[in-house]
Structure 1
Amino acid sequence: MSFDQAFVTLATNDNYAKGAMVLARSLRNHHTTSKLVVLTGPQVSDPCQSVLKKLFDEVRVVDVLDSKDTAHLAMMKRPDLGVTFTKLHCWTLTHYSKCVFMDADTLVVSNIDDLFEREELSAAPDPGWPDCFNTGVFVFQPSMATYEKLMQYSAEHGSFDGGDQGVLNGFFSSWATTDISKHLPFIYNLSSIALYTYLPAFKQYGGNAKVVHFLGQMKPWSLTFDPKAQKVRGGSQDAVASHSSFLLDWWTLYSREVLPLLQEHYGDQPFHSGCVEEEECQEASAAASEASRLSSEERRERWERGQADYMGEDSFENIQKKLDAFLK
């Protein structure tokens, strides 16, 4: 085990804590030799904190930073991203020589310990604007000096998107042009929306994915899972489409290796596991479908913002049907 290197993630609430738990198990299952660290906010419940302590080598409660940049967050229709500033705390983990940060909505599907051979700040391009890096996965070197400079930069310049990605791209502004070795291959941060921007490439290279990133508002834990039928549902009647295999991987790992720990620590306390029987799944799916119906104009606007409904109307299956009909 590499005691001076660590994978780091962030959980500001119980939902993201569940994502962090699955991420931890996926890293362990693919035989990482590095430590696992999770930064948590005070909003994470005691049962979830207890499970995190079982799965991670270090659980550190930190103050939740918030950009409070309502203008830019409103532009992105993502007010929840303000607290992602809390990610900046990871530079304070100075008892590690090098770390890899991973968002809690990522899933490891192959060993990625080779990332520790990279230098700060190594990251994959963002699918929405490739001259920016996506902060879902990045290599960094903890340093209090860097942390203080980041905080000062944030105070003076803010963030162009209201979240951590804007401030980190502003601070590490030379990433796009200075050193190509700091550009991680896209397979280290395979974003779900990439299926729509370059489908042929996904067909060619998607099988080599090392990390899957469930970008956008719809997260695996916002769906439902029927363990008996081995089906993931949510968003629409034929919800599980383009990312069905990755979503099934996430839910299978959650139901087998995380849920038993949660049930143990919640005891008699009620909590939403997300695992329900077929009829309940259908009811939840129908309700979600009704709530998610959008006008064509609203759908277009979401596409332009990189927020396609890849689990519903904009699923790979539906897009392929329309393309086939057009080409014929």
Structure 2
Amino acid sequence: MADQVFVTLATTDKYAKGAMVLGKSLRNHNTSKKLVALIGPHVSEPSRAVLHKIYDEVRLVDVLDSRDAAHLAMMKRPDLGVTFTKLHCWTLTDYSKCVFMDADTLVLSNIDELFEREELSAAPDPGWPDCFNSGVFVFRPSNETYGKLITACSEGGSFDGGDQGVLNSFFSDWATADISKHLPFIYNLSSIAIYTYLPAFKQYGHDAKVVHFLGKVKPWDYSFDTASKTVKGQSHDADMHPNYLLQWWELFSSSVLALMKEEYGDQPFYSGCTEGDIHVDVGQMHLSHPPSPPMSSQERKQKWEQGQADYMGMDSFDNIEKKLDSFLK
């Protein structure tokens, strides 16, 4: 239907890069829906121009605009600025139903069937499954709902300091009222959860439709060698599966990078792509990173307890899988 759209938000050029890849992934999997990108005032003109080439509509949202209903609430809670920006998606009243997707998500197959769900449909958060993760959710634009959300946000704040806390408090019956509003986890597969419950990922991971790069380190924080098809950097801080990370960079380098070069021209911009001199077949893609000094078993244990496992090295998915298979046998 013409009035149903996928929506994302980019408040910086880095997140705009994520939105570009997300948009391309939706297009590549033949979505029949329109795409809308909400952008903040700090997104540069060249990045906006690239988004215009991928999205049907690019709309500027600014919570500091005095004409905005959020402005007065901002005076009380300036710490929730980015949260207010995301809530603007409810003002898209030209459309009847929308699916919001964070800019750090990647679509792996067609997901148009999400529009059969009702507000507020979302997948459980791996950290607290009675809460939904706000990286992917189905909603109906409404100025009335927007106003109520702004009021709730300004009066009650957010229990996690962001939009997820606000939305879970507002849609507080999500966990108990209607099971049809619980999206399967494959529509918002957390890269962190892959490692916390590896057997389930082995069983169901091949059905994943959306991967969500949660955490401080994002795909665009790495660099990609276009010749050797390898991703480099951030070896100790990443919680994402190497194959998904490679898919993100492959799509960026093949479909987004040229668009950025067209718009930036002679202006400098950092793409994260480098040209190498070693060719590796696509079927042999792998992650590479500088070697790390050996770590004692006690140090490894402390790292695990602090949530700092070496997911790209000794604690990689392949190594964990081998250890698990050995244990089960």
Using the size of structure 2 for normalisation, the TM-score is 0.84
Shift, 1:218, TM fit: 1.1
Alignment partner of 1:302 out of 303, 307, 313: 307
* Deviation digits for residues 135-167 of structure 1 (CA, Å, limit 9, x no counterpart): 010000000000000000001110000000000
d(CA) in 2 for partners of 1:311, 1:10: 29
Identity %: 68
Using the size of structure 1 for normalisation, the TM-score is 0.85
Shift, 1:59, TM fit: 0.4
Contact (CA 8 Å) 2:217, 2:238: kept in 1 or not? no
Shift, 1:241, TM fit: 9.5
Alignment partner of 1:264 out of 249, 262, 265: 262
Which residue of 1 is the match for residue 274 of structure 2?
A: 276
Pairing 1:93-242 to 2, within 5 Å after superposition: 93-236=92-235
Residue 132 of structure 1 aligns to a residue in which SS? strand
Runs of 4+ in 1 over 2 A off after TM superposition: 64-69, 239-242, 284-287, 294-303, 308-315, 317-328
d(CA) in 1 for partners of 2:36, 2:314: 37
Shift, 1:317, TM fit: 3.3
Which residues of structure 1 form unaligned runs of 5+?
A: 70-80
Deviates more, 1:270-279 or 1:172-181: 270-279
Shift, 1:295, TM fit: 8.2
| Aligned Cα root-mean-square deviation (Å) | 2.7
Q: Which has the larger radius of gyration?
A: 2
For the pair 1:249 / 2:247, whether they are aligned, the reply is: yes
Contact (CA 8 Å) 2:235, 2:311: kept in 1 or not? no
Quickly say closer, same or farther: Cα 1:299–1:277, change in 2 above 3 A: farther
Which residues of structure 2 form unaligned runs of 5+?
A: 65-73, 278-287, 294-298
Residue 3 of structure 2 aligns to a residue in which SS? strand
Quickly say closer, same or farther: Cα 1:271–1:37, change in 2 above 3 A: same
For the pair 1:317 / 2:318, whether they are aligned, the reply is: yes
Contact (CA 8 Å) 1:242, 1:317: kept in 2 or not? no
* Deviation digits for residues 224-251 of structure 1 (CA, Å, limit 9, x no counterpart): 11111111122229x9996222111111
Query: Quick one: which amino acid aligns to residue 270 of structure 2?
Result: H
Shift, 1:176, TM fit: 0.3
* Deviation digits for residues 48-77 of structure 1 (CA, Å, limit 9, x no counterpart): 0000011101101101477655xxxxxxxx
Contact (CA 8 Å) 1:188, 1:212: kept in 2 or not? yes
